[in-house]
């Protein structure tokens, strides 16, 4: 049976490069050969994407080498300690190291015997919110010098549209068509990779038919289903995912601002419009939409759409402007310049230890201009400038929830609490 899709023109489970009779590419049992000629090497393997991915393959009994330029992370991983929090990862790291199935290294020679190489290095935007391609390009150029005939090279970092086809052309010009190239994006919620990798389908964008087949065989080891796209479609699909989520958060944040302008209680409205009304079930709670991916990927899409991704740009102004608007609202109700304000939660999302691009830090900057003193706390983020929760609760006149960690739920506060997500404050 062919999978049913909403798009009648083609099924997403089909490999568009294959004749229709061969397109039944749904879930398969463990494929032979995907990693039989050598280990899997993950470049950027000690990062938030690379490490859980490596653990997922090692858990299935395969040999994994984590290649990373950070000697500090490599040492941590080899000593059995996760450099960041990831659900279910601590024990698995110890087990796979002990079994000799996982190893981290800074030595590029690890790639020599690999049957497959997956690239998960960072792809940041620069200070003008344009993709900062220099370092990524240098790393990829270096990598292309090192890949060998017959190896499968998979890009998994989030890249701007067209990168995979450009690399395929580069390989072709260098007469290195014997390297199989594919783009296979990561669409996992950070912190829950080991759970979600086993549940969610994997998008596969092979530069050639053979590359698509090989990449699919590889990912079938850890994923329940693969979905074939052209490389540029897979690149866009990843960016669309994050831009859609970012815009979705922006709508709620904009509604929150509008409700405030009318002095209406947004939470009353939010609860009422969702109650027994499934069409509004997907409305996000207002709050800080931040982190290493959502803004960056929305901006990547904007930068490569001739600057005309107006919805994305509007979402950025709303989401990034929220800390300032929040403080302006609070100023009407409290004499901030006479107060010590405690900021709860500095990670970019609840229950995470990752402060990258967290809007709590932007909120802190705005508060520093307005308040007598600002004290910040987070149970997970390792930042020497933070204060203990007890100290903040003791000294602050007013609390603002930046990141609603579960650890704050159920606490009794003696001072007023402002929590626009109202998962904690009310
Ligand atoms: N974090 C997420 O939830 C997430 C989700 C989907 C996609 N992505 C994308 O995945 C990519 C990686 O993100 P991340 O959060 O894992 O970043 P990260 O900074 O946590 O990890 C990147 C790792 O690559 C290493 N590295 C950098 N240059 C290297 C090189 N030349 N050779 C070997 N190692 C190198 C770094 O030391 C680091 O350990 C980005 O493109 C990001 O947009 C991230």
**pLDDT tens digit string along 369-409?**
999 999 999 999 999 999 999 999 999 999 999 999 999 99
Q: Which residue has the higher pLDDT, 31 or 319?
A: 319
Contact 48, 354 (CB under 8 A): yes
Q: Which residue has the higher pLDDT, 291 or 245?
A: 245
CB atoms within 10 A of CB 142: 11
What's the CA gap between 413 and 400, in Å, rounded?
11
Q: 425 CA to middle of ligand 1, Å?
A: 34
Chain mean position to CA 366? 26
Of all protein residues, the one whose alpha carbon is nearest to atom 14 of ligand 1 is: 48
Contact 119, 147 (CB under 8 A): no
Of all protein residues, the one whose alpha carbon is nearest to atom 39 of ligand 1 is: 47
What's the CA gap between 319 and 323, in Å, rounded?
8
Q: 122 CA to middle of ligand 1, Å?
A: 4
Q: Which residue has the higher pLDDT, 249 or 8?
A: 249
Of all protein residues, the one whose alpha carbon is nearest to atom 40 of ligand 1 is: 122
Of all protein residues, the one whose alpha carbon is nearest to atom 18 of ligand 1 is: 47
Of all protein residues, the one whose alpha carbon is nearest to atom 21 of ligand 1 is: 47
Which numbered atom of ligand 1 lies nearest the CA of 159? 41
Secondary element (H or E) of residue 376: strand 373-377
- Domain 20-234 identical in fold to domain 243-418: yes
Domain ranges across the chain: 20-234, 243-418
Beta-bridge partner residues of 417: 399
Pocket test for ligand 1, best of 68, 160, 295 (most atoms within 8 A of CB): 68
- Show the ligand 1 pocket: residues with CB < 6 angstroms: 43-44, 46-50, 67-70, 73, 120-123, 139, 157-158, 186, 190, 292-293
* Domain at 243-418, CATH homologous superfamily: NAD(P)-binding Rossmann-like Domain (3.40.50.720)
Block residue for tokens 């395969």: 62
What's the CA gap between 106 and 123, in Å, rounded?
19
State the first-to-last Cα distance of the chain, in angstroms, to the nearest integer: 50
Range in 49-58, 231-240, 290-299 the model is least confident about: 290-299
Tokens found for residue 395: 């000294």
Q: Percent of the chain beyond pLDDT 70? A: 91
Q: 120 CA to middle of ligand 1, Å?
A: 5
Which numbered atom of ligand 1 lies nearest the CA of 51? 16
Q: Measured on CA atoms in the order 42, 46, 52, 54, is the torsion positive or negative?
A: positive
**What Å distances lie between residue 13 and 29, 86, 200, 224, CA to CA?**
16, 30, 13, 12
Contact 111, 147 (CB under 8 A): yes
Contact 109, 146 (CB under 8 A): no
Tokens found for residue 383: 């930042």
Of all protein residues, the one whose alpha carbon is nearest to atom 38 of ligand 1 is: 47
In CATH terms, the fold of domain 20-234 is Rossmann fold (3.40.50)
> Over 90: is that where the pLDDT of 245 sits?
yes
What's the CA gap between 161 and 236, in Å, rounded?
6
Of residues 55, 165, 136, 142, the one with CA closest to residue 99: 55
> Over 90: is that where the pLDDT of 54 sits?
yes
Chain mean position to CA 188? 7
Residues 275-312: tens digit of each pLDDT = 999 999 999 999 898 888 999 899 888 887 777 899 99
Which pLDDT does position 37 carry in this prediction?
A: 84
Which numbered atom of ligand 1 lies nearest the CA of 242? 6
Give DSSP secondary structure letters for 85-127. --TTHHHHHHHHHHTT-EEEES-GGGGTT-SEEEE-----B-T
């Amino acid at each position: 049976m062919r999978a049913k899709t909403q798009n009648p023109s083609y099924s997403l489970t089909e490999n568009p490069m294959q004749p229709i009779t061969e397109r039944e590419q749904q879930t398969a049992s463990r494929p032979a050969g995907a990693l039989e000629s050598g280990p899997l090497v993950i470049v950027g393997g000690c990062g938030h994407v690379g490490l859980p991915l490596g653990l997922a393959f090692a858990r299935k009994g395969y040999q994994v080498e984590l290649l990373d330029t950070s000697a500090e992370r490599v040492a941590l991983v080899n000593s059995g300690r996760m450099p960041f929090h990831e659900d279910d990862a601590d024990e698995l790291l110890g087990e796979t190291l002990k079994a000799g199935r996982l190893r981290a290294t800074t030595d590029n020679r690890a790639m020599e015997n690999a049957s497959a190489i997956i690239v998960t290095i960072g792809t940041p935007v620069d200070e003008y919110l344009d993709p900062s391609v220099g370092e990524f390009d240098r790393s990829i150029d270096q990598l292309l010098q090192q890949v060998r005939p017959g190896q499968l090279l998979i890009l998994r970092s989030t890249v701007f549209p067209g990168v995979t086809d450009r690399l395929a052309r580069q390989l072709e010009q260098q007469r290195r068509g014997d390297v199989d190239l594919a783009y296979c994006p990561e669409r996992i919620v950070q912190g829950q990779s080991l759970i979600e990798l086993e549940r969610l389908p994997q998008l596969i964008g092979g530069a050639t038919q053979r590359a698509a087949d090989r990449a699919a065989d590889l990912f079938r080891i850890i994923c329940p289903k693969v979905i074939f796209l052209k490389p540029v479609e897979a690149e866009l699909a990843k960016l669309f995912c994050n831009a859609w989520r970012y815009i979705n958060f922006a709508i709620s944040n904009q509604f929150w601002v509008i409700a405030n302008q009318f002095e209406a209680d947004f939470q009353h409205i939010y609860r009422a419009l969702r109650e027994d009304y499934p069409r509004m079930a997907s409305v996000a709670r207002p709050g800080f939409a931040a982190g290493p991916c959502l803004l960056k990927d929305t901006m990547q899409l904007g930068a490569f759409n001739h600057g005309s991704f107006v919805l994305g740009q509007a979402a950025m102004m709303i989401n990034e402007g929220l800390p300032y608007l929040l403080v302006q609202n609070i100023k009407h109700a409290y004499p901030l310049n006479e107060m010590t304000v405690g900021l709860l939660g500095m990670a970019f999302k609840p229950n995470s230890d990752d402060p990258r691009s967290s809007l709590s830090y932007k909120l802190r900057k705005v508060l520093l201009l307005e308040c007598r003193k600002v004290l910040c706390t987070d149970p997970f983020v390792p930042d020497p400038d933070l204060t203990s929760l007890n100290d903040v609760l003791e000294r602050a006149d007013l609390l603002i929830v930046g990141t609603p960690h579960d650890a704050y739920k159920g606490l009794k506060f003696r001072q007023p609490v402002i929590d626009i997500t109202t998962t904690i404050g009310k």
